[in-house]
Amino acid sequence: MRSGPILGAVLAGGRSSRFGSDKALALLDGKTLLDHAMAGLAPHVADVVLCGREGGLADRPHPDMGPLGGLNAALHHALSHGFIGVLTTGCDMPFYPAELPAALIGDKPAVLQGQQLLGWWPATLAFELDAHLDEENNRSIYGWLERIGARIVEVPGLTLPNINRPEDLAALT
């Protein structure tokens, strides 16, 4: 794999329906989950963008595309700004382990087992994701992973919280 700058993207366009309010703005140790997610990615990438919400990259090709709309926006941004690929995380993932980029980054796209928004996506996938989103499908992340033959990465001993409900957040404090 050739080397070059990597873009970090926090996918934050979800509706937070199980959480009951905008979970990206929920506080953990005095900082929003969104701030935690951006800070967790920052040491591993040349730049971090926010996807799918005001102040960030708009979902592509249009709003309410789910995580793939945010990923598509990040891939096109990466491609047009000279990044070789994108490391992603969700706004509900306040921790980004230091060993994760080395486990994910490679010639093929990859996601952490059980955490499909923690992934590595070569920028060259931008137009294939355009085609995928233009087709008749349910736009699930699982269908996309299958289409592109993504690697599923296991990191022994790594357990990460995923905050979907207020009690998930409360368990971390």
- Is 34 marked as binding a ligand? no
Q: Helix 126-134 and helix 67-80: axis angle, to 10°?
A: 150
- Is 134 marked as binding a ligand? no
- Is 168 marked as binding a ligand? no
**Sign of the torsion formed by the C-alpha atoms of 153, 64, 62 and 41:** negative
- Is 59 marked as binding a ligand? no
- For residue 71, give the 3-state DSSP assignment: helix
In sequence order, which ranges of 112-173 are alpha helices (DSSP H)?
126-134, 141-148, 166-170
d(CA 41, CA 96): 6
- Is 92 marked as binding a ligand? yes
- Is 69 marked as binding a ligand? no
Indicate the annotated binding residues for GTP. 11-13, 23, 64, 92
Indicate the annotated binding residues. 11-13, 23, 64, 92
Indicate the annotated binding residues for Mg(2+). 92
